[in-house]
Amino acid sequence: RMKEGEHIPTPDISHITCDPRFKDQVYDPSEDTFLFLDALELQKDFLKQLNPSLCLEIGCGSGCVITFLASILGSSSYYMATDINNVAANAALETARRNKISLDVINTDLLKHLIPRINKKVDVLLFNPPYVPTSEEEYLDSIKVEGNDMLSAAWAGGIDGRQVLDRLLPFIKEVISDNGCFYLVVVEENKPKEIARILLKDGFTGQIVKKRTARNETLSILRFDRKKASSG
Partner 1 sequence: MRILSHNMLMCNVKGCGAGNFPLRLAGTPVQNESEFNQEFMSHMYSKLDWPALKQACGDVGITTLPEEPPANPEGNQEFLKTLHDIIIDTHIQQGSLTCNNCKRVYPINNGIPNMLLNENEV
Q: Which residues bind partner 1 (CB under 8 A)?
A: 51, 53-54, 75-78, 80, 84, 86, 89-90, 93, 102, 104-109, 112-114, 116-118, 121, 145
Per the CB < 8 A criterion, the answer to whether 222 and 209 are in contact is: yes
Closer to partner 1 by CB, 41 or 94: give it: 94
Distance of CA 113 to the CA centre of its chain: 18
Q: At its nearest, how many Å lie between partner 1 and the CB of residue 30?
A: 24
Closest separation in Å from C-beta 51 to partner 1: 8
Q: Which is nearer to partner 1, 35 or 92 (CB)?
A: 92
Residue 150 C-beta: closest distance to partner 1, Å:
11
Least distance (Å) between residue 66 CB and partner 1? 14
Distance between CA 157 and CA 151 in Å, rounded?
12
**Amino acid making up residue 232:** G
Please report which helix (H) or strand (E) contains residue 98, including its range. Answer: helix 86-98
DSSP for 32-88 reads HHHHHHHHHHHTHHHHHHH--SEEEEES-TTSHHHHHHHHHHGGGSEEEEEES-HHH
DSSP label at residue 30: -
Nearer to partner 1, 117 or 215 (CB): 117
- Minimal distance in Å, beta carbon 139 to partner 1? 16
Beta carbon nearer to partner 1, 104 or 137: 104
Give alpha helix (H) positions in 133-182: 136-142, 163-175
Closer CB to partner 1, 55 or 195, in the complex: 55
